[in-house]
Amino acid sequence: MGILDTGIKTIQNVAKVAFGLGSFSDLNALIEDKKLADGYAVVFLDTYFSNSILFDRLSEYEVVIVDTSVEPKTTTIDNIMSILRSKYDKAPNIIVGIGGGSTLDTAKACSNLFTNPGSASDYQGWDKVQNKGVFKVGVPTISGTGSEATRTCVMTNPKNGLKLGMNSDFTVFDHIILDPNLTETVPRDQYLYTGMDAYIHCMEALEGGYRNPVGDAYSRETLKLCREVFNSSDMLETSMREKLMVASYLGGCSIATSYVGVVHPFSAGLSVVLGTHHCEANCIVMNAMEEFYPKYYQEFHSMVKRQNVHLRKGIASNLTDEQYDELYNATIIHEKPLYNALGKKFKEILNKDRVIEIFKQM
């Protein structure tokens, strides 16, 4: 297929990035600086921290606990907005998201909806958001999704099964705080699953047909950092958590200029049909990717083995015909990444029988 131009010439990055151990302590001052005397702040907090000291120090603001047992749905976002609009007669001065990718994406989506009419599903797709959202701050507490840096917030639409984000420059955070202290309590398996999202984002981008030299540079550095972390003797050591947090941010910057490939459409299928969380789903999909990414397939499994993390197998091996139909439809609908990876004949390569066979390998 050769190297194709992504067409992306202008890149919207996060305006301000605060990094370092303990940098989270500056959050309250930032909120107070943006929140006017007659205004208010909304903090979206990952349910994982609902009983922690983080909740206590933010209790003076409007705190919305985000249920991360399931990934964001357009209906969930609409329900949150309905509650907030019934409680307040105007938009907040500042929105803060504290948590993993689902919580950060929820914060970004709500920021957009405060200044754009309609429902969350109205803005799924590319550049449909017309107005700048509420000033928003992202504070990731796990590394890998890159949501803190990306121009999208991914949601599943229950009505049509489409898993797609509000892909817009207006979705990018205005300010992010990267404090490696916040990733200290992440469970070991989840730490690897999520961290590998950055690795998979970037290897798909570098192996794709649509390329951007800036995105390539971000991707190469992200892969370098991921290899240092996951080939180390202790991926949870402080310096490794620092490196993975940087890799997550750079990986998110990379995706703003490029496309993913085969892994993410199949991962979306697992998420939509079986409810598998995105980052674990990516890793499960890698069990069946030797044909498409042989070099990375071997490297990925070598790093997983070194870190002694278990990957579920057989997740899609004994499903109903109806479920396999749903998996195929939820996968093949992602035309841009599949074209990026396989070219214009991707539907011939990934016919229905082949897609089902790949799912059964997982």
Other CB atoms within a 10 A radius of the CB of residue 170 amount to: 21
Write the CATH number of the domain with boundaries 188-361.
1.20.1090.10
Which residue, among 31, 116, 32, has the nearest Cα to 81 in the 3D structure? 116
294 CB burial (10 A radius; 0-12, 13-18, 19+): exposed
Instruction: Express each pLDDT in 149-207 by its tens digit.
Output: 999 999 999 988 888 899 999 999 999 999 999 999 999 999 999 999 999 999 999 99
Is the pLDDT reported for residue 343 higher than 90? Answer: yes
Q: Which residues contact 175 (CB under 8 A, 6 or more apart)?
A: 14, 15, 16, 17, 18, 30, 135, 136, 137, 138
Report angle CA 144, 220, 124 to the nearest 5 degrees. 50
Q: How confident is the model at residue 108 (pLDDT cuts 50, 70, 90)?
A: very high
Q: What percent of the chain has pLDDT over 70?
A: 99
DSSP string, 285-335: HGGG-TTT-HHHHHHHHHHHHHTT------TTSS--HHHHHHHHHHHHT-H
Q: Which helix (H) or strand (E) holds 41?
A: strand 41-46
Give this prediction's pTM. 0.94
Helix 213-230 to helix 238-255 angle (10° resolution) is 160
Q: Strand 4-5 and strand 210-211: pairing? A: parallel
Q: How confident is the model at residue 345 (pLDDT cuts 50, 70, 90)?
A: very high
**Regarding the domain delimited by 16-183, which CATH topology (the fold level of the hierarchy) does it fall under?**
Rossmann fold (3.40.50)
Is the pLDDT reported for residue 256 higher than 90? Answer: no
Which residue, among 320, 316, 322, has the nearest Cα to 271 in the 3D structure? 316
Buried b (16+ CB within 10 A) or exposed e, 248-274: bbbbbbbbbbbbbbbbbbbbbbbbbbb
Find out whether 27 and 137 touch, Cβ atoms under 8 Å.
Answer: yes
Instruction: Express each pLDDT in 73-87 by its tens digit.
Output: 999 999 999 999 999
Is the pLDDT reported for residue 302 higher than 80? Answer: yes
Tell me the domain boundaries of the chain. 16-183, 188-361
